[in-house]
Amino acid sequence: MSLLNIDTEKCKKDGICAAVCPPRIIIQKSADHYPEMVPEGAEICIRCGHCVAVCPHGAMNHERMDAADCPPVKNEWLPGPEQTEHFLRNRRSTRVYKDTPVDRDTLVRIVEVARYAPSGHNLQPVKWKIVHDRQDVTRLSGHVVDWMRSLIEQKSPLAEMLHLDRAVLGWEAGIDPVNRNAPHLIIAHGNKSDPTAQTAATIALSYLELAAAGFSLGTCWAGYFGAAALFWPPLKEAMALPAKHTCCGAMMIGYPKFKYHRLPLRNKPEITWL
């Protein structure tokens, strides 16, 4: 079976699939010809599915995805500019969570949305570890606090800049300054030797954060956690990531205890034009 299969009964020879193909492996010799794949196409194809998704006639099928398996776009579900702006401005970092746990299926569903984030060369290098038990989240926070203590002891400039002494004091008073007593933590990880993994994970976590908001869940980037995960051996061990993988970012997640009623303000964008 070929990588691409064009249903000649449906194809209208409009050339759209050839026009959008990122590595230009689809060519159409003339308006009378059906589109075809260049001989070396199978090795070059990045499996993005644009050829299948763009065809208005459902004529293109890819070895990885038949047109029939790709759901049609529901234009009536897409938000307009006002709704998009409101949704994005309404996303908040949640730092106070309800005790109610989020069921595993819901967390998986949100990760399932995050996998549609763009990635360089469509490599999709991000893997996920979900810390579901709150006690495990707190245990991991404890390792981060130990890392903070070590930075304070070494008089690291980072300790002063990030006010880590306050975080440690908070922990000692029973407050989790790292993961904010969130019931769950989602860690994005990737292969250390993959130069695309970090950027892809950052984008995928942003997708995850927005998807979570759509499910009435609260999230917050676990920045302290992400930094400690790169440097602190006991935390690396406790995360139990696959060999050769590194943490590329983490997100707290749970049901928010409080609702926000206004959209806070941000700096004006600094824009220059060329």
Ligand X SMILES: Cc1cc2nc3c(=O)[nH]c(=O)nc-3n(C[C@H](O)[C@H](O)[C@H](O)COP(=O)(O)O)c2cc1C
Residues that bind ligand X (CB under 6 A): 92-93, 95, 220-224
Closer to ligand X by CB, 92 or 132: give it: 92
CB of 124 to ligand X, least distance (A): 21
Closer to ligand X by CB, 233 or 264: give it: 264
CB of 177 to ligand X, least distance (A): 8
Decide: 200 and 126 in contact? Cβ < 8 Å. yes
**Closest Cα to residue 185, out of 119, 123, 247?**
247
CB of 224 to ligand X, least distance (A): 4
Token pair, residue 83, equals: 């709704």
Closer to ligand X by CB, 95 or 149: give it: 95
CB of 151 to ligand X, least distance (A): 15
Output the residue with the shortest Cβ distance to ligand X: 223
Residue 255 burial (10 A CB sphere; 0-12, 13-18, 19+): middle
Closer to ligand X by CB, 40 or 172: give it: 172
CB of 179 to ligand X, least distance (A): 8
Closer to ligand X by CB, 35 or 254: give it: 254
CB of 53 to ligand X, least distance (A): 30
CB of 103 to ligand X, least distance (A): 24
Strand partners, 128: 188
CB of 42 to ligand X, least distance (A): 39
Closer to ligand X by CB, 107 or 213: give it: 213
Closer to ligand X by CB, 16 or 131: give it: 131
DSSP for the chain, please give it: --SEEE-TTT-----HHHHH-TT--EE-SSTTSPPEE-TTHHHH-----HHHHH-TTS-EEETTB-GGGSPPP-GGGS--HHHHHHHHHH--B---B-SPPPPHHHHHHHHHHHTTS--GGG----EEEEE--HHHHHHHHHHHHHHHHHHHHTT-HHHHHTTHHHHHHHHHTT--TTTTT-SEEEEEEEETT-TTHHHHHHHHHHHHHHHHHHTT-EEEE-HHHHHHHHH-HHHHHHHTPPTTEEEEEEEEEE-BSS---S----PPP-----
Closer to ligand X by CB, 208 or 222: give it: 222
